[in-house]
Amino acid sequence: MSVIEHLLELHLVDRQVRGLRSRVETAEIYHRTQQKQLEDIESQLGQLQQQCRVAQATAANLETEGNSMDARIEKFREDLKLSATTKQYNTVLEEINTLKTERGQVDEQAIAQLEQAENLEEDMKSLDGRITERKTLVVSAESDLNERRSEVSERLNELEIERAKKAEAIPPVVLEVFDQTADDYEGDTMAEIDEIDRKRLEYSCSSCNVSLPFNLVNTIMSNANNVHQCEGCMRILYVTEEVRGALVTKK
């Protein structure tokens, strides 16, 4: 067999291998996506929980501060009763009024913190629901992934062994070109030569439609051990029996 014939056989097996791998890889990507989204939501929940704890702690501190102000106001009221002069009375009264104003501000701040905590709790409930839904998707995606791995495992192993055997028949330099092209084009490595106009000797690459000079087509046809890549798409070119027969008849 010629190098081109070996490459065509390798190409058929390689595409099957990549097809089975792709089935598993698609499931792996989907599973990773669902897992990542779950982690993101859980991270958001963690942030909200921290914010809620801070809001609740701040509200508690403000309540303590308010209680302390209430105690001071009561003490000032007692002092107010004991005031001996109008000046003392007015001074103590001013302190009471100032504390009442500050007490009101503390209450407003405490209420704002409690409202924020309540809103955060509502947001956390919503995220809890989303986490439950996402966990269901993660479990389903993992099950699908394991099922696909199980389905293709035996056949994929057989094809990989077959691919390795067919690759042994190909010169290392050519095999390196094949593997690189296969990686670049997801297994679409080989391109047949299309006959555009037989009389005018016009030919092109079937993959990218780049025009091919007849001397290149003739070189490939005359020796199937010659390996040439299309200058347009870099796929490995080969001549089909139909085109080969037409060229031979023409000659």
Q: What is the dihedral of CA 135, 138, 144, 150, to 10 degrees?
A: -110
| Full-model pTM | 0.73
pLDDT at residue number 198: 83
How many Å apart are CA 226 and CA 237, to the nearest integer?
A: 10
The first and second tokens of residue 99, run together, are 């504390």
The CA distances from residue 243 to 48, 112, 193, 214, 247, in Å, are 69, 82, 8, 12, 6
pLDDT at residue number 243: 79
The first and second tokens of residue 70, run together, are 């209430």
**DSSP string across the chain:** --HHHHHHHHHHHHHHHHHHHHHHHHHHHHHHHHHHHHHHHHHHHHHHHHHHHHHHHHHHHHHHHHHHHHHHHHHHHHHHHT--SHHHHHHHHHHHHHHHHHHHHHHHHHHHHHHHHHHHHHHHHHHHHHHHHHHHHHHHHHHHHHHHHHHHHHHHHHHHHHHHHHHHTS-HHHHHHHHHHHHHTTT--EEEEEEEETTTTEEEETTT--EE-HHHHHHHHH-TT---B-TTT-PEEE--HHHHHHHHHH-
- Every domain of the chain and the residues it spans: 15-168, 175-250
Residues of the chain with pLDDT under 50: 251
How many Å apart are CA 189 and CA 181, to the nearest integer?
A: 6
Report the Cα 224 to chain-centroid distance in Å. Answer: 44
pLDDT at residue number 222: 86
pLDDT at residue number 83: 87
pLDDT at residue number 194: 93
The CA distances from residue 251 to 38, 196, 233, in Å, are 67, 17, 29
Going across the sheet that includes 202-205, the strands are 211-212, 202-205, 190-197, 236-238
113, 2 in Cβ contact below 8 A? no
55, 114 in Cβ contact below 8 A? yes
pLDDT at residue number 78: 92
Which fold would CATH assign to domain 15-168? Helix Hairpins (1.10.287)
How many Å apart are CA 14 and CA 44, to the nearest integer?
A: 44
Beta bridge partners of 194: 204
181, 235 in Cβ contact below 8 A? yes
The first and second tokens of residue 64, run together, are 């303590």
pLDDT at residue number 223: 87
pLDDT at residue number 226: 85
93, 81 in Cβ contact below 8 A? no
Tokens 């291998």 belong to 17
